[in-house]
Amino acid sequence: MTRWIAITRAVSRSIANCELTYLKRIPIDLENARRQHDTYEAALRSLGLEVVSLPEEPELPDAVFVEDIAILLDECAILTRPGAGSRRPESESISQSLAPYRKLFLIQAPGTVDGGDVLVVGKQVFVGTSSRSNSSAIEQMQRLLAPFGYSVQAVPVSGCLHLKSAVTQVAPGTLLINPEWVDGNSFPGMQFIEVDSSETSAANALLVGENLIYQPVFPRTLARLKAAGIRPLLVDQSELAKAEGALTCCSLVFKG
């Protein structure tokens, strides 16, 4: 059987000082954020994943969003160079955690990329060109991943922080998408489920093997997923959403 691993990190006590790009700063209930994160980790375990939970980084507000620090593929891992300079110290502990499992490559300056901007579908790697990820990083990824047979394609994103704020995979060949934030023509050959127009942030879902984790705070889009035959496991991540976080942000999921 396939062994799945998820690396997570506890919510920092300084989460209220997180980076924000599109949202206004509003109070974050630390204890509620931690309870919801515990539930998220429990959901991963319920799906059979081995959860490696790292301790909090008290001085690094965004450190719970481990996805942004690395890009995990079957053959290797790429340690990113986050677009927000305040987040670059997060890399050291993630590097140490991944070293036993993957050969590691590094994005070098002037490249910047957040893992939240990277959507991997089979051998296709889509990278959002956002305020956090630039062309230098994409060119480096193309060079690093070509020997493994991956194609790397830049995808324009507008109106949201990351590519995976706008689109994620929810089933084989099927993407959940907010067409106001990203153009579906960037993903040839894919089928789409569009988010309900009243739920603009509803495109982020976490696919683990054949299982999907989704948030209950988007009922109209959830109904569209169910109509397509998808029955997700529901996990509320609404507190960390105030920090521009989402379901994929809070774990690095890979085959061990």
Cα gap 136→194, rounded to integer Å:
31
SS3 70: strand
The single residue of 18, 37, 160, 249 carrying the catalytic annotation is 249
Which DSSP state fits 134?
-
Q: Angle 64-69-72 (CA atoms, 0-180°, nearest 5)?
A: 110
Catalytic residue among 18, 37, 160, 162: 162
Q: Any catalytic annotation for residue 37?
A: no
CA distances (Å), 213 to each of 169, 197, 247, in order?
A: 11, 21, 8
Report whether 251 contacts 9 (CB < 8 A): no
Residue 249 annotated as catalytic:
yes
CA separation (Å) from 191 to 85, 169, 222? 36, 10, 17
Residue 162 in contact with residue 113, Cβ under 8 Å? Answer: no
> Active-site residue numbers?
162, 249
